[in-house]
Structure 1
Amino acid sequence: MAFLNFVARQLQSQAPAVKVDLTGKTVLVLGANTGLGFEAVKHFASMNPGRLILACRSQSRGKAALQKLKAETNYTKAELWLVDLANFKSVTKFADKFEQDGGRLDILVANAAVAIGEYEATKDGWEISLQVNCISTPLVALRLLPTMIKTAHQHSTVPRVVVVSSSVHAQVEIEKGVYEKPHMFKTLGSSEYCTKKVMESRYPLTKLLNVFFVRALNARVPASMQLIVNNVDPGFCRSELSRRATGMQAVMFTLMKAALAFSPEVGSRRLVWAAVAQQDQPDTLRGQYITAAKVDLVSDFVQSPQGIKVQDALWDDLLVVLSKVDPKVTAIVDTYLS
């Protein structure tokens, strides 16, 4: 039934991209040079933002994206900022630069992610998809939080943090043997834990952790704070995420893409909706999980009493990890989050 529901959703016609006036506002998109990120940037460019920042890992691919964006939209105020989410020093350098830049930040779309089917460690010693999708992404969001809150106060606006997740988060749970022990992230990222079988479901797990992060962060954002944090599921889209799939998995991805996948442009409409829709009642999107231009339900596991315990434990453990990566995170959490 779950698969049939997935097929039905993929075959439904999708609403056109919502459009608002972003004059004077700053939009930042992580993973902006290709796929969903680039298509979302094109939509944002059509809304005349004051600044549109493409955060990319590659200088050459980022420059190519800027040129393509200008050619296809005539938007000339886009900027390329480099950040490698698989390198904590790169992330902190990126955040420091934004902090020193002194500008406003109205929309952050955390779109960058990797899908890896086998264990691979970064230079920082973490399994790469866990670091990119679930540690560095929250690090960027938390480091830029003061800038977004300052933007809200100075410009009487409601900034938004949009974290891209996926419906595949419902395919996995976190075992009792993991969440009842300390140092969950260390366990989930260890080479001993990351067996071949575990890595087959690593991407869904990272999307589950994205859901938990948004819900935990939203629970700690004071009701009086003008800040919206949400998750968005772009649907099953043709993208580069599966480029490292091999064997039967690669065959299945190819067949499913041909039969069911949205184009990146169609999927990007959902990212844009989460970032700019409901301007007259933005609070309806606080902490929500968004699919096809509407609020949807998260998995039963996330909503269960067990899931709520896991959510709080993951938050506490994430802060321990991030405090070692970047001590500024601790001060930000203590200052702004209840």
Structure 2
Amino acid sequence: MKLSFFTFIRGQFAKQPPVVKGDLAGKTVIVLGANTGLGFEASKHFARMNPGRLILACRNQSKGHAALDRLKSATGYGKAELWLIDLADFESVKKFADKFERDGGRLDILVENAALSTSKYEATKDGWEVSLQVSNLSTPLLAFLLLPAMIKTAEQHATVPRLVVVASEVHYWATLEKKILENPDMLKTMASAKYCTEKIMSSRYLLTKLLNIFFVRAFNDRLPSSTPLVINAINPGLCKTELSREEHGIASLFTAIFLNIFAFSAEQGSRQLVYGAVANADNPEALRGQFISACQVTEVSDFVLSHEGVKAQDQLWDELIGILGRVDSKVPAIASQYLSAQR
């Protein structure tokens, strides 16, 4: 499938379906990036479904506590918890997962709402380009480390947990150039200071969302069909959030005008996250491994489906396991225990 700019703009004026509701009684929900934007609005929707536990996973403690207060004021739900996590820091991700292993109990829904839009190269203390680490290394790392808890929940409570990864329709406009496709170290190269020129960084956000799609599809391909777990990728559409907060000057002004004309509200976009997490309760398999846009299963880009795209997806998966295995030795063990060779 291809997406023209005209089709994209037309979609931004489409009426958004109402939020899907589900029964979350006794269930545990984790939302990443929950103090603002899509994550906060999705958390409000989940709170109104009265989950047993709702964990707001945030980077900043003061902003996280403010979000808890706003959530309670808006919904009346007073059981939400603030857990700190910084996706630009592998140790922070590991500590979050370790805490959940000790204190979390069951895990029914994990919404991985992680994104960073930047046009300038910046390395984390772990040595990776920051937006790629946040969206395409730490996001999978947390998914792997919490996978045992989700599968245990499925076995003990006869339910089907959901792993929701927030992707985007902008993946239709992203591809991998030949020198990346032919490189044995794709992620390492894409994250290097030498590769991350101003031109490359101008489209980095599109790339991170393409890699989100690859991760979800590769994960699903290796998840045995008998495993009661659904992973999917969600397109919230263009929304008014703080994603472009790093822009300044003319670019910032242009973005603000564009968003005011064409963007959904954060609440409207958050409905897609909720859809991926609770829709099709009677037939969750219908959403397994799917890309969801406008509350319906949608075909991914032609590049993702192409021979070179499938080959890149498999290579990226193998490289990802190797990288994350060096971050935490649990990752390859978890992949070996719960995931299989490609179906």
Q: TM-score, normalised by structure 2?
A: 0.97
Report the alpha carbon displacement of residue 68 of structure 1 after superposing the two structures with TM: 0.6
For residues 243 and 93 of structure 1, the distance between their equivalents in structure 2, rounded to whole angstroms, comes to 28
Could you tell me which of 303, 306, 312 is aligned with 1:304? 306
Counterpart-to-counterpart distance in 2, 1:72 and 1:57: 22
Partner of 2:219: 217
1:158 paired with 2:160, answer yes
Q: Distance in 1 between matches of 2:217 and 2:249?
A: 36
Which residue identity lines up with residue 113 of structure 1 in the other structure?
A
Match of 1:55 in 2: 57
Report the counterpart of residue 21 of structure 1 in structure 2. Answer: 23
Structure 1 stretches of 5 or more lacking a match? none
Residue 233 of structure 2 corresponds to 231
Look up the SS of the partner of 2:280 in the other structure: coil
Give distance in 1, aligned partners of 2:249 and 2:72. 38
Q: State the alpha-carbon separation in 1 of the partners of residues 225 and 130 from structure 2.
A: 35
Post-superposition Cα deviations, 1:107-162, rounded to whole Å, max 9, x if no partner, equal 00000211111100111111000000100000000100000000000000000000
Contact (CA 8 Å) 1:115, 1:203: kept in 2 or not?
yes
* Alpha-carbon displacement from aligned partner over 1:237-256 (angstroms, at most 9, x marks no partner): 00111111234432331121
Shift of 1:102: 4.8
Q: Aligned residue for 1:33?
A: 35
Show the counterpart of 2:72.
Answer: 70
Distance 1:294 1:171 in 2: 20
Question: Where in structure 2 are the equivalents of 1:134-283 lying within 5 Å?
Answer: 134-283=136-285
1:24 is paired with a residue of what secondary structure?
coil
Q: Please, which runs of 5 or more residues in structure 2 have no aligned partner? A: none
Aligned partner of 1:274: which letter? G
Shift of 1:288: 0.2
Provide the rounded CA distance (Å) in 1 between the counterparts of 2:209 and 2:226.
28
| Change beyond 3 A, Cα 1:8–1:210 | same
Query: What is aligned with 1:86?
Result: 88
In structure 2, the residue matched to 1:110 is: 112
Aligned to 2:125: 123
The aligned counterpart of 2:13 is 11
Q: Which amino acid aligns with 1:191?
A: A
Q: Percent identity?
A: 61
The RMSD of aligned alpha carbons is 0.9
| CA deviation string 1:296-316 (max 9, x = no partner) | 111110011110000000000
Residues of 2 paired with 1:266 and 1:251: CA distance?
23
8 Å CA contact 1:288, 1:295 repeated in 2 = yes
Instruction: State the 4+ residue runs in structure 1 displaced beyond 2 angstroms.
Output: 246-252
Q: How far 1:179 sits from its partner (Å)?
A: 2.2
Q: Distance in 2 between matches of 1:249 and 1:153?
A: 50
| Aligned equivalents of 1:132, 1:74: Cα separation in 2 | 32
1:98 paired to 2:81 = no
Give the distance between the partners of 2:191 and 2:264, measured in 1 at CA.
31
CA separation in 2, counterparts of 1:267 and 1:306? 31
Instruction: Report the AA paired with residue 313 of structure 2.
Output: Q
Shift of 1:19: 0.6
Q: Equivalent residue for 2:290? A: 288
| Secondary structure of the corresponding residue to residue 193 of structure 1 | coil
Is the Cα–Cα contact under 8 Å of residues 289 and 297 in structure 1 kept in the other structure? yes
Question: TM-score, normalised on structure 1?
Answer: 0.99
Q: Distance in 2 between matches of 1:202 and 1:331?
A: 31
Aligned-pair CA distance for 1:217 = 0.2
Distance in structure 2 (CA, Å) of the matches to 1:221 and 1:8? 36
Residue pair 1:179, 1:313 contacting (<8 A) in 2 also:
no
Q: Equivalent residue of 1:158, what SS?
A: coil
d(CA) in 1 for partners of 2:178 and 2:100?
A: 39
How far did residue 99 of structure 1 move? Answer: 1.1
